Structure 1
């Protein structure tokens, strides 16, 4: 069995807009009469976001799901290609070297999917193995990383994981629903990719993975397919559930490597929102500096669903020492991954 080592990363971001500008230009009107909506937009910790469909210039709230899915394919292909090509270049590999190509997404579907369309466009081999990880939500990057790492370790072949999310295609009709306001104030578009190689002496080795699902709170975070795109349900109790589990999950992850929290050099925490980061900081006894990369990603990019934790890991690329990556999503589910310097 070979060690699975992350050796390259790439990203692709659509056009940037200012949080204040999208509030003034669209959502102030969209949520007219809902007094708390502006406060929610201003308290997300988000300054800028990215969108393939900026609602200020293009209102998709009345589009049917079929039209949104067609648009998803059109927009996702160039972003995915750029992210994967960047990750391969960073790793020093060619598309023909890849043995497994995995794609995680919860914001669009088509058959053939992004995996086969991008594989053909990038020139990956006809014998390529492919995996599509669908509808897992914000934490999908980490089970995706687990799957490609298992392949790399068992088969001694390189693999690529792409997370591509276009949440801007799912703006919903105006409703007096604070959960929708929160979703519209936080979420953003991005594509992020990583290359995992067998036995590489550079990069970060995938050294451990722990998952925890609180089945009793499955209704706290939902992502429903409707006739007007995908609609998020987001309970304000999510941070409380996370607080009950995050310490145990992290300690279990570190104990498997004979480590403790103070041994960790970098923390890549999925910035689901400012309260999520506050809870993780407090429950793990971290400082603001230790979760600074996650705060920066939230401020500069918003919550890009499954791609976000890969963006945070990229922020920590120069950290020398063990890194813990964490992501959270529907289920309610927590995933934590330990990455160690390869040698």
Structure 2
């Protein structure tokens, strides 16, 4: 008798999210920094964002928000990333009925600060994970990094059937802001919010006992001609790191979205019309519009993408998982449905994944 070996398939078992304690409307952020420039106010108020979770600088003796040093921002990042990350991880484990002791691989993602030891080590210490837990840290890849991490964790999960892997994206965007009166920083300051999300993966050799969609494949595209269109670099004048977004980013992403998505689907013998669920990174109103138009999607297709942008702003690498959580809560995904996950970030990079329930 011949024994047929079945390759284990990684499945998304569950998700959990967390945010920082304080939320502000766009008007409240403008007022907090006494911004009166009509161009900047228009940028904030026409962003399709209603509220974001932010940890603003403290008030000084003059009643104005103080300017935080780079050292203070790094300290803020560490505190917030650990706190939000721990809550998101605990929420994820609770949702799947698992315990801290069940985690065998922890892959942490962040782009809003640098930590050594990495976030994974800090969380293992904070939460009491097994000290033998396998871990990895993905730093500095930006908003697309959640899918890069999912790709890494999927490979680990397939190589370790029945073991629990966690991808954790913790983005303390409040720790990556420069507050001044320039339009360059206003574009960034009008968009990003604090957030963390954890997603659990588990592979089963044969029985589909793990709920949630199986991960079928990944496809990516780095647009090297737009390498500098999104970058995080040292600002000599401010004395701290500053994020830059080129105004042409929505068009760059939109123009390249079709190629990478079609390549992802072609590998599985599918067309765009076969995909029922689209979970696109909440990169900003113009980015979402560009992707929607170029892929021929409807407003319904990107309802969770726009909803997350409205309620949280751009929470960087965690954004697509906030959308996945909303889709999960809807309970509309049926057995056999296909879904595409899509993130965009510095490089300029487009990352995609194909899943099936």
8 Å CA contact 1:102, 1:130 repeated in 2: yes
Q: CA deviation at 1:42?
A: 0.9
Instruction: Provide the rounded CA distance (Å) in 2 between the counterparts of 1:217 and 1:259.
Output: 29
More divergent stretch after superposition (91-100 vs 290-299)? 91-100
More divergent stretch after superposition (83-92 vs 39-48)? 83-92
Change (3 A) 1:37 1:84: same
Change (3 A) 1:302 1:59: farther
In the alignment, what sits opposite 1:76?
A: 81
In the alignment, what sits opposite 1:253?
A: 264
User: Which string of whole-angstrom CA distances, capped at 9 and with x for unpartnered residues, describes residues 243-290 of structure 1?
Assistant: 221011111111111211111111111111111111111111111111
Change (3 A) 1:59 1:137: farther
In the alignment, what sits opposite 1:169?
A: 175
Q: CA deviation at 1:134?
A: 0.1
Q: CA deviation at 1:171?
A: 2.4
In the alignment, what sits opposite 1:301?
A: 312
Unmatched 5+ stretches in structure 2: 1-6
User: Which secondary structure does the structure 2 equivalent of 1:309 belong to?
Assistant: helix
In the alignment, what sits opposite 1:136?
A: 141
8 Å CA contact 1:69, 1:109 repeated in 2: yes
1:322 aligns with 2:338: yes
Change (3 A) 1:331 1:59: farther
In the alignment, what sits opposite 1:108?
A: 113
More divergent stretch after superposition (87-96 vs 208-217)? 87-96
Instruction: Provide the rounded CA distance (Å) in 2 between the counterparts of 1:52 and 1:299.
Output: 18
User: Which string of whole-angstrom CA distances, capped at 9 and with x for unpartnered residues, describes residues 161-194 of structure 1?
Assistant: 1100111122214142x23111100110001101
Change (3 A) 1:336 1:56: farther
Q: CA deviation at 1:325?
A: 0.9
Change (3 A) 1:275 1:254: same
In the alignment, what sits opposite 2:203?
A: 198
In the alignment, what sits opposite 1:185?
A: 190
Q: CA deviation at 1:220?
A: 0.9
Instruction: Provide the rounded CA distance (Å) in 2 between the counterparts of 1:161 and 1:150.
Output: 12
More divergent stretch after superposition (65-74 vs 300-309)? 65-74
In the alignment, what sits opposite 1:312?
A: 323
Instruction: Provide the rounded CA distance (Å) in 1 between the counterparts of 2:23 and 2:147.
Output: 26
Q: Which residue of 44, 48, 51 maps to 1:48?
A: 51
User: Which secondary structure does the structure 1 equivalent of 2:215 belong to?
Assistant: strand
Map 1:241-280; keep pairs closer than 5 Å. Answer: 241-280=252-291
In the alignment, what sits opposite 1:152?
A: 157
In the alignment, what sits opposite 1:118?
A: 123
Quick check: which has more Rg, 1 or 2?
2
Instruction: Provide the rounded CA distance (Å) in 2 between the counterparts of 1:137 and 1:59.
Output: 30
Q: CA deviation at 1:149?
A: 0.6
C-alpha RMSD of the superposition: 1.8
Change (3 A) 1:332 1:55: farther
User: Which string of whole-angstrom CA distances, capped at 9 and with x for unpartnered residues, describes residues 293-336 of structure 1?
Assistant: 11110000000111111101111112312111111110000001
User: Which secondary structure does the structure 2 equivalent of 1:126 belong to?
Assistant: coil
8 Å CA contact 1:10, 1:86 repeated in 2: yes
Change (3 A) 1:255 1:228: same
Unmatched 5+ stretches in structure 1: none
8 Å CA contact 1:25, 1:56 repeated in 2: no
In the alignment, what sits opposite 1:224?
A: 233
Instruction: Provide the rounded CA distance (Å) in 1 between the counterparts of 2:228 and 2:185.
Output: 15
User: Which secondary structure does the structure 2 equivalent of 1:216 belong to?
Assistant: helix
Instruction: Provide the rounded CA distance (Å) in 2 between the counterparts of 1:322 and 1:92.
Output: 25
User: Which string of whole-angstrom CA distances, capped at 9 and with x for unpartnered residues, describes residues 86-123 of structure 1?
Assistant: 11111222222222101000112222222112112222
In the alignment, what sits opposite 2:9?
A: 3
Q: What is the total number of aligned residue pairs between the two structures? A: 336
